[in-house]
Structure 1
Amino acid sequence: MATDRNEDEMRVKVREMIAEIGTAIFTTIDEEGRLHGRPMRTQKPDKDGRTLWFFTRADSPKIGELAQDDRVLLGYADTSSQDYVSIYGHARVVKDVEQKKALWTEGLRTWLPEGAESPEVALIAVTIEGAEYWDGVSSSLRFAYGYAQAIVTGKPDHSGENAKVSFHH
């Protein structure tokens, strides 16, 4: 089902959904032109609302992939609530120590034991160009109603919200 929200409200909705889901399948394009996805935890977005941050190892293969082609696709999914977000944009590698320290949380040491100040640790900043979201049927009661309606009418339930959102200002 389409939404009655305006563009600003839809951008807020996208940010709220990805904050709640937290982990994305971060997809890059490798040197052979193949898509390469891996789970990555999203950090706090910038105040501009258009930049998402991810920590990584500075020697990660994705760093080389981004140097060749900076296009990325981020896929977020919460199957329990039937919420999904797809984001496309461009990524850049950031090694600024102050930025790393500003976004660092101690739990990241599990994957990056060197800490934010290490040159072995980098950030990836993704500038969002656009997104699409599906805010689905989250309650079992709503699902049961949609199921019954589909059986009676022979038509699928369209009670969820779906929208394409531009992040260009």
Structure 2
Amino acid sequence: MEDNSKHSSPEVKKLSDLISDIKIAMLVTVSGGNSLHSAPLVTQGIEADGSLWFIISRASQKASDIQNENRVNITYSGSSTYVSVTGFAELIDDHPEKVRQMWSKGYEVWFPQGPNDPNVQLLKVEIEKAEYWEGHSNPVSKMLEFVKLTTGSKHLKMGSHGELNLRH
């Protein structure tokens, strides 16, 4: 994932740190009839303003949903990190240099003509807020916290939880 958050706010830096090692995210869109639709995708980059970038298919349900309702949720789940991002999606055209910058050979499965494939669509999500949960990744720490829980200890610390406000 391309990280352009080096010169950003502490909130954007924290979000970047939380999601940088998580390869696959789930994008939740609002489909026709107000039902929710989830689909996996790969985060291609995070900008200094906190915007997230993705490559999707122009013919996908994601693109169709976003044309009708641009409010989205993106979830990330790592070994001990969970992040829920809400924001506004925008389908971006006419940025072939951005497509080439984010392109990897793996996309050729979906886009056989490469970065110039007419179905390639850029998706930018301007983040409104993010909520995160961080737990212990060390198995011994998890076991000690479980023992505290089962013995009735009142001093439990199963990880941390926070919210990041990234409104522009």
TM norm. shorter chain > 0.5:
yes
Q: 2:90 aligns with which of 69, 76, 92?
A: 92
Instruction: Pick closer, same or farther for the CA change 1:19–1:35 going to 2, 3 Å.
Output: same
* Corresponding residue of 2:102: 103
Work out whether residues 111 and 117 of structure 2, in 8 Å CA contact, stay in contact via their aligned partners in 1: no
* Corresponding residue of 2:19: 18
CA distance in 2, matches of 1:168, 1:142: 35
* Corresponding residue of 1:60: 60
Which residue identity is paired with 1:53? W
* Corresponding residue of 1:113: 112
Work out whether residues 82 and 133 of structure 2, in 8 Å CA contact, stay in contact via their aligned partners in 1: yes
Alignment of 1:6-155 (within 5 A): 8-46=9-47, 48-78=48-78, 81-95=79-93, 96-153=95-152, 155=154
Instruction: Pick closer, same or farther for the CA change 1:150–1:89 going to 2, 3 Å.
Output: same
Which residue identity is paired with 2:142? F
Give me the identity figure in percent.
28
Which structure 2 segments of 5+ residues have no match? 1-8
Alignment length, in residue pairs?
159
Work out whether residues 88 and 129 of structure 1, in 8 Å CA contact, stay in contact via their aligned partners in 2: yes
Question: What is the aligned-residue RMSD (CA, Å)?
Answer: 1.6
CA distance in 2, matches of 1:84, 1:49: 21
CA distance in 1, matches of 2:154, 2:29: 37
CA distance in 1, matches of 2:35, 2:154: 37
CA distance in 2, matches of 1:12, 1:97: 27
Which structure 1 segments of 5+ residues have no match? 1-7
CA distance in 1, matches of 2:104, 2:92: 17
Q: CA deviation at 1:122?
A: 0.7
CA distance in 2, matches of 1:42, 1:114: 21
Normalising by the residue count of structure 2, what TM-score does the alignment of the two structures yield? 0.87
